[in-house]
């Protein structure tokens, strides 16, 4: 548990820290072949589910996802979507996930706030009550909300994945301050985040081997889905529009030929 909390705190510091003690530009993010990339790409539901597990066990102790509600996990296109439960509020898996958290509610009849098990309609539980508490727990750094982190960072998914995997031994001429690490993909190289992922830090429910590369890919896939949960529907709509326009263009051309067939040019 302490290892996971330390890793999550390190991730919070790394994603929000901006100072650098090294010279030089960061490496361009390594290109990765994502299952959801391209006009016909779709999310790998199993990867999104595993990524959610990584977020729960490694990141959630420091990072909030204020734009997400538990029911989003069971909505159409969500990783826990079920044909048996078209209403995500009735999804048994989502209900079980939500019930694993304690949510503040109230006031009750006596005017007091109280804690209760989470419901699918509740927002993801934030790890800190306020910004001051978050900074105090993370050496003054404010852990960024991860709801839109992939969209918010230049390089998107490639950058986040490269950052998670980009730790190297510092060059001999590097001058790192106490508590800093060298990451080739972070601007300047010096980052206040220890390597957040290590072999076997989580045990995947589906039996997949939890290598560092696998966890990095999975958690970035989950964060990508969280920032764009309707991507698949949008791509399908775009494909249908293109097909419609293609058929319409053929009909217009045939009509043109018919109208002007007896006219000499």
Q: What is the mean pLDDT of the chain?
A: 87
User: How buried is residue 30: exposed, middle or buried, by Cβ count under 10 Å (0-12/13-18/19+)?
Assistant: middle
Q: Model confidence over 66-94: pLDDT tens digits?
A: 999 999 999 988 999 988 888 999 999 99
CB 149 within 8 A of CB 171: no
Q: How many Cα atoms within 13 Å fall on the side-chain side of residue 129?
A: 2
Per-residue confidence at 232, pLDDT binned at 50, 70, 90? very high
Is the pLDDT at 23 greater than 50, yes or no?
A: no
What's the rounded Cα separation, in Å, for the pair 216 and 158?
Answer: 10
pLDDT score, position 10: 52
User: Around Cβ 125, how many Cβ atoms within 10 Å?
Assistant: 16
Which pLDDT tens digit goes with each residue over 168-190?
Answer: 888 887 778 777 889 889 888 88
Q: pLDDT band at 192, cuts 50/70/90?
A: confident
């Amino acid at each position: 548990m302490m290892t996971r909390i330390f890793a999550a705190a390190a991730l919070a510091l790394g994603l929000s820290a901006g100072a650098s003690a090294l010279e030089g530009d960061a490496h361009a993010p390594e290109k990765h072949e994502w299952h959801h990339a391209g006009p016909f790409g779709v999310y790998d539901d199993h990867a999104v589910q595993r990524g959610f597990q990584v977020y729960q066990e490694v990141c959630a102790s420091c990072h909030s996802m204020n734009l997400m509600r538990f029911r989003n996990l069971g909505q159409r296109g969500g990783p826990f979507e079920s044909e048996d439960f078209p209403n995500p509020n009735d999804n048994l898996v989502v209900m079980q996930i939500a019930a694993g958290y304690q949510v503040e509610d109230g006031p009750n009849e006596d005017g007091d706030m109280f804690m209760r098990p989470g419901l699918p309609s509740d927002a993801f539980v934030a790890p800190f009550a306020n910004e001051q508490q978050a900074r105090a727990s993370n050496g003054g750094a404010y852990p960024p909300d991860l709801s839109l982190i992939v969209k918010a960072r230049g390089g998107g998914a490639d950058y986040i994945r490269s950052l998670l995997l980009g730790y190297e031994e510092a060059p001999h001429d590097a001058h790192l301050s106490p508590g800093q690490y060298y990451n080739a993909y972070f601007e300047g190289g010096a980052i206040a985040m220890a390597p957040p992922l290590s072999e076997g830090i989580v045990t995947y429910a589906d039996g997949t081997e939890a290598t560092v590369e696998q966890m990095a890919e999975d958690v970035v896939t989950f964060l990508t889905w969280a920032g764009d949960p309707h991507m698949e529907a949008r791509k399908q709509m775009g494909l249908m529009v293109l097909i419609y326009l293609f058929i319409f263009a053929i009909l217009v051309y045939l009509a043109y030929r018919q109208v002007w067939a007896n006219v000499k040019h």
